[in-house]
A and B are shown apart, each in its own frame.
Chain A
Amino acid sequence: MTVVGEAAGGAVAGGDVPGEAAERAAADEPADPMAGPAADHALLDAMTVGALTWIDGMRPAFRLPAAAATEADPDHALKPLGELAELTHLVRDHHPLPAARGLADGLFRFAWEQTGQGELFAELVRNEPQATYPVELYGVFARAGLHHSGTEELLAVTTSLRHWRVAREDHTRTLGVLNAEHRIGLTPHADFDAVLALTGLGRCAEPWALDRHGVYGITHDVFHVTDWGRAPHRMPTPLAEYLRLWTPAWTETWLEEKLWDLVGELLAVRACLPGAAHDAAAWQRLAGAQRADGAVPETGSVPPDDIAPEDLFLGCYHSTLVTAFAATLARTAAMPPASPAAPFRESETAL
């Protein structure tokens, strides 16, 4: 695995807080000049390519069933595809390695094909004009410059209703809907900052009061504010400070609980913060959970070899995608200013 554009480093990655420096010292890191940033990049790249390779091999599991727009359970039929699209799009546009970009690009195109070049969304909106998830899903593709005019004509009507403004989910989810509306070019139905102020992040909830669901809320607040890590500068300074303080605590506890999925999201959050201190020890521990075939289980230890493929898929696809996403953000955030920055690429080919 070649690492492109690396400066052989002796410098310790910047942005350490005292606890992290101590963590490194305590974690038996080899004291050789190629440890530090170069070794971290190699690890992150290996995790990303491994994860995407496994995901790529799982394309059949992402395929939409015939009844995707009607009877199928959207959680099983559509949610995986939406997540696939959201996260591979980011990797495609941001990762410095051609191998990673190539895998991500193929997967993203595949996802768009599965939607029938967007035809799926028109059908979803016709069947469920009140639902927000079709808007959220479609927004992922719209952001990439992929449009389906029939869908957008419908959405222009459905999202302009007074009814559309009735709060149906929690505030974190509403931020996602607003983000999607913005991506599609619709008029957002509420003020983003006003809704943000009502979320766990916006309120700066006591960090010890959050359970798993609460911390998932925080991570998603961050993703919606920063457009999944693309715009970290949008994070208001007091909230960035809140995240700087408490993300290490959450990361540690969920590492101990072996909830790799949430750990990956917290590492992604970390990479979105100004300074983006790199938590090498945490990445090592997450790497330990990744299987040889690249899959990362959602929780606990590696699933047994004789597990049924569909169970393996459901148990791993989400956390594996998150790993690739988080490692990409960490990879591009962690590069020291002196080394040549990887270009942030807009889409390589017009779709």
Chain B
Amino acid sequence: MASQLTAPVGAALAAEVEDLLGSAEPEGIYRDTRECTGILLLAGLLLLSPPTPRPKSVR
């Protein structure tokens, strides 16, 4: 038996439903292996990544 839908609760729940249905994309989480950052230096000669240290790009 469905419980009484009181106005404020019903509206909040309906809004939550719409949010879950048509949610915006979450922020991207970008990860790269740490393994190669040393190799990328000299071994990365000729355009395989510049020599400056890269900031972490996790947002």
Could you list which residues of chain A lie within 8 angstroms of chain B, going by C-beta atoms? 74-76, 79, 82-83, 86, 132-133, 136-137, 140, 169-170, 172-173, 176, 211-213, 216-217, 219-220, 223, 253, 256-257, 259, 261, 265, 298-300, 314-315, 317-319, 322
Contact = CB atoms under 8 A, between A and B. Distances in A.
Contacts of B33: 211, 213
B45 interface: yes
Contact of B45 (A136, A253, A314, A319): A136
A322 B52 contact: no
Interface of B: 28, 30-33, 36, 39-52, 54-55, 57
A315 B52 contact: yes
30 contacts: A74-B42, A76-B51, A79-B46, A83-B46, A83-B47, A133-B42, A136-B45, A170-B39, A172-B48, A173-B48, A176-B45, A211-B33, A213-B32, A213-B33, A213-B49, A216-B48, A216-B49, A219-B47, A220-B46, A220-B47, A223-B47, A257-B57, A261-B49, A261-B50, A298-B54, A299-B54, A300-B55, A317-B50, A318-B47, A319-B50
B40 A213 contact: yes
Contacts of B28: 253, 256-257
Contacts of B32: 211-213
Contacts of A317: 50
Given A75-B42, A261-B49, 16 more contacts: A79-B45, A82-B46, A86-B47, A170-B39, A176-B46, A212-B32, A216-B48, A220-B47, A220-B48, A223-B47, A257-B30, A298-B50, A298-B52, A299-B55, A300-B55, A317-B50
The dominant DSSP class at the A interface is helix
B14 to A, nearest CB: 31
A212 B45 CA distance: 16
A170 B41 CA distance: 13
Nearest to A74: B42
Contact of B57 (A173, A216, A220, A259): A259
List of 4 A-B pairs having minimum Cβ-Cβ separation, nearest first: A318-B50, A75-B51, A211-B32, A212-B32
Contacts of B55: 299-300
Contact of A136 (B39, B40, B46): B46
Q: Interface centre among A76, A132, A213, by most B CB within 10 Å?
A: A213
Contacts of A259: 57
A218 B1 CA distance: 59
B52 to A, nearest CB: 5
A126 to B, nearest CB: 18
Contacts of B43: 169-170, 173
A299 B46 contact: no
Contacts of B36: 213
A265 B47 contact: yes
Nearest to B54: A299
A219 B48 CA distance: 9
A136 B36 CA distance: 21
A314 B48 contact: no
Contact of B51 (A79, A132, A220): A79
